[in-house]
Amino acid sequence: MSSTLQARTGRHLQRYENHFRLVAGCIPYRINRHVDNPTGDLLSMLEVLMITSPNQHDLVFPKGGWENDEAMDEAASREALEEAGVRGIIHDSLLGVWEFRSKSKQNLCGQEGACRGYMFALEVNEELEFWPEQSTHDRKWLNVWEAWKLCRYDWMREALNSLSILITGKPVRLVAVPEISESTSLFCLVKPSGTECVDSAINAFC
């Protein structure tokens, strides 16, 4: 079964500024109070949602083009719904603004593919069983240390660190990263349809 929601397509409403494509995104998060956490440390209960990237062997946070007919936070919420199938409460304050090159333009010189990304925190309160871009994006909840190890780019780790400080008051980067047991399925994403796990070469970036 597919989602009745429709993802936006095309770039006729895309915002640009000084050769930068403007992008809005978010880090969806939840507080999992059922984890084994004898100390009650909030950082240990913080989990974030990452999604697979089409034609890439990595995990990313939901993000996409900010369009002319929507506010920045509306664009970030829309991308979370379209790509990750989640709704929630978006924080008013930005996690930060980062400039980067789109994945398809990584090897080019000049300004082609340049993006300016505005990232928010999204407290998830609803997960959809079906969503618009389900066929190209799987999703997985991870604790902050798992997510930190899987962030391919510096800006992603910086955004994750900002989220951790916002929600728990503690940075990820200055806290000792626990050893992750082999039983933790970091490299096995369960398809929403309940089919077999999707093998990934994500460990190449850990």
pLDDT tens per residue, range 139-179: 999 999 999 999 989 999 999 999 999 999 999 975 555 54
pLDDT of residue 35: 87
Domain range enclosing 65: 16-175+184-205
pLDDT of residue 84: 96
Domain contains 36: yes
In whole angstroms, what is the distance from residue 133 CA to residue 138 CA? 9
In whole angstroms, what is the distance from residue 53 CA to residue 50 CA? 9
pLDDT of residue 206: 29
Tokens of residue 42, six digits: 């909030």
Domain contains 30: yes
Domain contains 160: yes
Which is nearest to 48 in space by CA: 121, 154, 126, 135?
Answer: 121
Query: Is residue 123 within 8 Å of residue 89, measured between CB atoms?
Result: yes
pLDDT of residue 111: 63
pLDDT of residue 197: 32
pLDDT of residue 3: 58
In the predicted model, residues of the chain with pLDDT beneath 50 are: 105, 108, 179-206
pLDDT of residue 188: 35
The count of structural domains within the chain is 1
In whole angstroms, what is the distance from residue 95 CA to residue 97 CA? 7
CATH of the domain at 134: 3.90.79.10
